[in-house]
Amino acid sequence: MKILKILLYIVVSLAVLWAVLGLFAKKEYHVERSLEIDAPRDLIYDHVRHFANFETWSPWAHLDPAMKTTIEGTDGAVGATYSWAGNDDVGSGEQSITALSPDRMDIEVHFKGWMESSFPTYMVLEPVGDKTKVTWSADMHIGFPWNALAMFTDMNAAIGKDYALGLERLKAVCEDMAHKKYRGYEIAEVAMPAKFYAGRRATVEFAQMPDYYSTNMPKTFELLQKAGVEMAGAPSGLYWSWDEEAGKTDMACAIPVATDKKIAGLDIIPLDSGQALVIEYFGIYDSIGNAHYAMDDYLLEKNLESIPPVIEEYLTDPTQEPDTSKWLTKVIYYVRPKTAATEVPGG
């Protein structure tokens, strides 16, 4: 009987201690983590505001592969609700979008169970150059008496590590979407300014192309110097056609110039401004064909067509760089939607 009284005193004392701690323990906690993602803000915003995408970057989804989830309302809009129910690691609850704008998403989270609670979370998207700084925050309220238990836990570290993990996963997903590769190449869409090229346009057999370049490129340099015209870019190859069956190409060995004035012995080739695709290819020229096949894949996927000429800019001088893996060639395709009727740059 004495032992029972002692145990009762201990339990009562612990309960009183817990209650006293709960009276003085803080109830509000702010958790915040940030990460820069190399992807446009609009792409990230469109991904995170749809609950259907949540499991692609959630720091908790892997804790219970059998977790049951439902989405109610219009996904990606204010009022949409994501509910979950799983094992002890994830518990159960729901989260609802309360406000949306391209630079911020507000969500109210409600946990169910023995520590039932609700609190707001929000994600801020801030453009930083070509990247986006994403800040994920929560203003947590832990009511009495559970706030006493929170005194013995570093809430910022405990929840913060999950937020940091979620942002890392979001970064991987969004950067993969923003920088999708085609046959191993990343393709950039750029606005190209109007240009003038000086060179010699001719129909050349494939087998004669090395000789054509070795003869005409030095000659083009010579004639530009003689005319007192400065280069405005890297030596380039321009291709209006590529006939595999005949083994011939309509091409020009050319150099960008800042003027359209006539130069003795050279053709002046004007190219209008327009949208273009660019691949940065590193390696020997013999293997550059795969970059062109990557362009074909991109054109097909995006329903675009190429506007001749295709341009190869040779930015590395092989006589100055012995490492062929460092030879840089920019492959440039002017493009337009297949349904559009725009004029061909250069005619």
Confidence (pLDDT) at 8: 47
Q: Are residues 67 and 158 in the same domain?
A: yes
Q: Are residues 208 and 319 in the same domain?
A: yes
The stretches in the chain having pLDDT less than 50 are 4-5, 7-9, 11-25, 144, 146-148, 150-152, 342-343
* Structural domain contains residue 11: no
Residue 188's contacts (CB-CB under 8 Å, 6 or more residues apart) are 277, 278, 279
Q: Are residues 72 and 107 in the same domain?
A: yes
By residue range, what is the domain housing residue 328? 186-337
Q: Are residues 225 and 309 in the same domain?
A: yes
The per-type count for the chain, helices as H runs and strands as E runs, is 7, 17
* Structural domain contains residue 4: no
Question: What is the DSSP annotation of 191-248?
Answer: EEPPEEEEEEEEEEEGGGHHHHHHHHHHHHHHHHHHHTPPB-S--EEEEEEEETTTTE
Q: What is the CATH number of the domain that holds 271?
A: 3.20.80.10
pTM as predicted: 0.63
- Summarize pLDDT for 219-232 with one digit per residue, the tens: 999 999 999 999 99
Q: Are residues 86 and 117 in the same domain?
A: yes
> Exposed (0-12), middle (13-18) or buried (19+): which is 132, by Cβ within 10 Å?
buried
Confidence (pLDDT) at 271: 96
* Structural domain contains residue 144: yes
Q: Give backbone dihedrals phi and psi of 231, rounded to 5 degrees, phi first.
A: -70, 145
Q: What is the CATH number of the domain that holds 73?
A: 3.30.530.20
Confidence (pLDDT) at 341: 52
* Structural domain contains residue 295: yes
What rounded mean pLDDT belongs to the chain? 87
Confidence (pLDDT) at 117: 77
* Structural domain contains residue 191: yes
Distance, first Cα to last Cα, the chain? 105
Q: Are residues 190 and 322 in the same domain?
A: yes
Among 127, 145, 174, the domain boundary falls at: 174
Q: Are residues 166 and 217 in the same domain?
A: no
Task: Provide the number of structural domains found in the chain.
Answer: 2
Q: How far is CA 169 from CA 12, 37, 48, 58, 280, in A?
A: 46, 10, 12, 7, 27
- Summarize pLDDT for 226-272 with one digit per residue, the tens: 999 999 999 999 999 999 999 999 999 999 999 898 999 999 999 99
Confidence (pLDDT) at 154: 54
* Structural domain contains residue 214: yes
Number of other residues whose CB lies within 10 A of the CB of residue 271: 23
* Token pair of 96 as six digits: 């609802």
* Structural domain contains residue 297: yes
Among 121, 142, 174, the domain boundary falls at: 174
Q: Are residues 228 and 111 in the same domain?
A: no
* Structural domain contains residue 20: no
Confidence (pLDDT) at 24: 42
Among 174, 196, 219, the domain boundary falls at: 174
Give the residue among 181, 170, 166, 175 at the shortest CA–CA distance from 38. Answer: 175
